[in-house]
A and B are shown apart, each in its own frame.
Chain A
Amino acid sequence: SQQGEEDPQALSIQEGENATMNCSYKTSINNLQWYRQNSGRGLVHLILIRSNEREKHSGRLRVTLDTSKKSSSLLITASRAADTASYFCATLVRGGSEKLVFGKGTKLTVNP
């Protein structure tokens, strides 16, 4: 079953602008991960944030995690046309199987 819910479902911006995607989840987690999927391709891991972390950076990516609100956000700064893809959050649920539970994704289009 889907735990994460991304918001918005689709986002269209101009090159150079920032893109923010949000993810909400329902149960206690061990960690939360963000993945990118280009059309028709596999998943590329972007960032993993653990439940005891609040913010993490990687290049132009910034991820926040608020466990009290059960939500996370992914910010892509100074977006590029090559960032056009679908972005998924996935949670590793605490205390059980090591499987990832995915959200439905945000489709990001960056217009040149």
Chain B
Amino acid sequence: GEEVAQTPKHLVRGEGQKAKLYCAPIKGHSYVFWYQQVLKNEFKFLISFQNENVFDETGMPKERFSAKCLPNSPCSLEIQATKLEDSAVYFCASSQVPGVYEQYFGPGTRLTVT
């Protein structure tokens, strides 16, 4: 598609529950990025993929967060045992060649942990 698609739009989870977010990048874009935007508008990089390979995972809280981009499937970001502080909007972005072209962002998934 010509837009980055993210599902669901909203997700509510009780503390300790699992949350799984999905992202379909723009067709032909080989790079996928996940960012977290918290209430003060700050964006935090989580993880990036080049095709199905992890490119940079330095932003991931590894003990609870995991992500995958498998061929012919939407990319996913999973949070095991959610905490209140995980409440945020999670954005997925894709790009052809990040150093040359812009990143295109999806509409985001708002996760609320209660």
Contacts and interface: CB of A to CB of B under 8 A. Distances in A.
Interface of A: 2, 30-31, 33, 35, 41-45, 48, 86, 88, 90, 92, 97-102, 104-105
Interface size class of B (residues with CB under 8 A): 20 to 34
B98 interface: yes
B42 A2 contact: yes
Contacts of B58: 97
B99 A30 contact: yes
A98 B43 contact: no
Contacts of A45: 102-105
Contact of A88 (B43, B48, B103): B43
Contacts of B35: 100, 102
Contacts of B87: none
Contacts, number: 61
Interface of B: 31, 33, 35, 40-43, 45, 48, 55-56, 58-59, 91, 93, 95, 98-99, 101-108
A100 B99 contact: no
20 contacts: A33-B103, A41-B107, A42-B106, A42-B108, A43-B105, A45-B102, A48-B102, A86-B41, A88-B43, A92-B99, A97-B48, A97-B55, A98-B98, A98-B99, A99-B56, A100-B35, A100-B45, A100-B103, A102-B43, A104-B42
A102 B103 CA distance: 13
A86 B41 CA distance: 9
